[in-house]
Amino acid sequence: VYRSSLTRKLQVKAGETTYPVLLSDFKRQLQTHLGDSRIVAVVSNPKVFALHGAAFIDNCLAGKRYAIEPVLMGDGERFKSQKTINNLHHCFFEIGLNRTDTVITLGGGVVGDTAGFAAATFKRGVNLVQVPTTLLAMVDSSVGGKVGINHAYGKNLIGAFYQPRAVLTDPGFLGTLGRREMIEGVAEILKAGFLSGRRFLRAAGDMPLQYSAAKRDYFTGIISEAIRFKAGIVARDPYDAGLRQILNFGHTFGHAIEKVEKYRRYHHGEAVLAGMAAALHLSRLSGLLSNDEANECLHFLSRFVSHLKPLGKDPDDYLVPMEVDKKRMGEDIVCVMLNGIGRPVVGPVRSRKRLKESIQFMIEFVKRKGVV
């Protein structure tokens, strides 16, 4: 069991702003961040609101002097759109939301990114509190202040940097999360482990795929460690000028999988999980990771990779989207690799043979259900 010091809150510094991630004592701590709000809009989707809306409002908001206004948006990536922003703004006008009022996002990354962007742009910005309910949103999308929506030209292309007043991170929400969504969050936690070192990686490798109240301390510990890791990178690179690139470990291959599998067979986090196997093999082929270290890392992926569907295509098919990826530099494809556990390097890779071999390795690793 992994136990970090069970902190009640963490501070995240991004640019000029610092905001807290609340990890316990939610109602009391949250109240101080609602300021003089007369209206608190709780934006969620029908699924999350049905599961957690009433309890969240009862436990964290009820009994105070403001009006609580639930606002629902659609569930799914396709609702991360301009149309949803228009609808949310319309609802905010209808309920009479003002700049001193607060928008709370209650949901996964889709609700957080979309409603966060609606809050950032409504009357030039109203108070925002993020309440992530998926593991991915807890450790990744709610940390760093990026909010936004998709465009026909690509994902996340319209958006802003907008820091929340606070983030309320309660692992209790994970009790209703499906296994696939849990694995997506685990992928990001393992990624943070590979990038930060063995101690964290070992703890991440023990992640259960089902939350229960008995495991609350473990979850709080590992989630806060992952937030601390991402917050450390964000503090050094608040506007994504360079260092944040290392967070793309596994993503160049992962994006290729998502594209080739047409965003259906593989969810984003599942693709990143498989993509990290390719990135580890590429690090080995490039002489950065020893054979032992690469195998040690792959062992941490095994248990989770065993849940993935086989990758259906040939290595060449996955190489095609990498050739047109925005992370290309001339003839080179930019990949994040490991120069030892906890030592990421961003490197241009020219050899298509090496990339193809890494993809081939990934396909076989998934097919063997993660047996190293």
Residues at the contact surface with ligand NAD, assessed by CB under 6 A: 45, 47-48, 51, 75, 77, 80, 107-111, 113, 133-134, 136-137, 140-141, 144, 146, 156, 173, 176-177, 181, 184
Q: Closest approach of Cβ 234 to ligand NAD, in Å?
A: 9
Q: Closest approach of Cβ 286 to ligand NAD, in Å?
A: 27
Of 237 and 364, which has the nearer Cβ to ligand NAD? Answer: 237
Measured from each CB, the residue nearest to ligand NAD is 109
Of 171 and 205, which has the nearer Cβ to ligand NAD? Answer: 171
Alpha-carbon separation of residue 20 from 26, 258, 296 (angstroms): 12, 33, 35
Determine which helix (DSSP H) or strand (DSSP E) holds 256, and give its type and residue range: helix 251-260
**DSSP label at residue 161:** E
Q: Closest approach of Cβ 225 to ligand NAD, in Å?
A: 18
φ, ψ of residue 13 to 5 degrees: the values are -105, 125
280 within 8 A of 325, measured Cβ to Cβ: no
Of 108 and 315, which has the nearer Cβ to ligand NAD? Answer: 108
Q: Closest approach of Cβ 292 to ligand NAD, in Å?
A: 32
Q: Closest approach of Cβ 164 to ligand NAD, in Å?
A: 11
Radius of gyration of the chain (CA): 20
Of 23 and 298, which has the nearer Cβ to ligand NAD? Answer: 23
Q: Pseudo-torsion of CA 365, 367, 371, 372, nearest 10°?
A: -20
Paired residues of 338 in beta bridges: 344
Bin 162: left if φ > 0, else alpha if -120 < ψ < 50, else beta: beta
Of 77 and 357, which has the nearer Cβ to ligand NAD? Answer: 77
Q: Closest approach of Cβ 109 to ligand NAD, in Å?
A: 2
φ, ψ of residue 212 to 5 degrees: the values are -145, 160
Alpha-carbon separation of residue 208 from 29, 31, 109, 173 (angstroms): 29, 32, 21, 15
Of 45 and 358, which has the nearer Cβ to ligand NAD? Answer: 45
Residue where the block lists tokens 């690509």: 154
Cα four-point dihedral sign 280, 187, 23, 200: negative
Q: Which of 250, 366, 372 is nearest to 307 (CA)?
A: 366
Q: Closest approach of Cβ 46 to ligand NAD, in Å?
A: 8
Q: Closest approach of Cβ 363 to ligand NAD, in Å?
A: 24
Report the amino acid identity of residue 194: F
Q: Which residues contact 46 (CB under 8 A, 6 or more apart)?
A: 72, 75
Provide the 3-class DSSP secondary structure of residue 264: coil
273 within 8 A of 253, measured Cβ to Cβ: no
Q: Closest approach of Cβ 354 to ligand NAD, in Å?
A: 28
Of 110 and 337, which has the nearer Cβ to ligand NAD? Answer: 110
Q: Closest approach of Cβ 372 to ligand NAD, in Å?
A: 27
Q: What angle do CA 146, 149, 152 make, to 5 degrees?
A: 135
Of 229 and 365, which has the nearer Cβ to ligand NAD? Answer: 229
Residue where the block lists tokens 């703004």: 89
Of 55 and 67, which has the nearer Cβ to ligand NAD? Answer: 55
Of 165 and 284, which has the nearer Cβ to ligand NAD? Answer: 165
Q: Which of 279, 306, 284, 304 is nearest to 294 (CA)?
A: 284
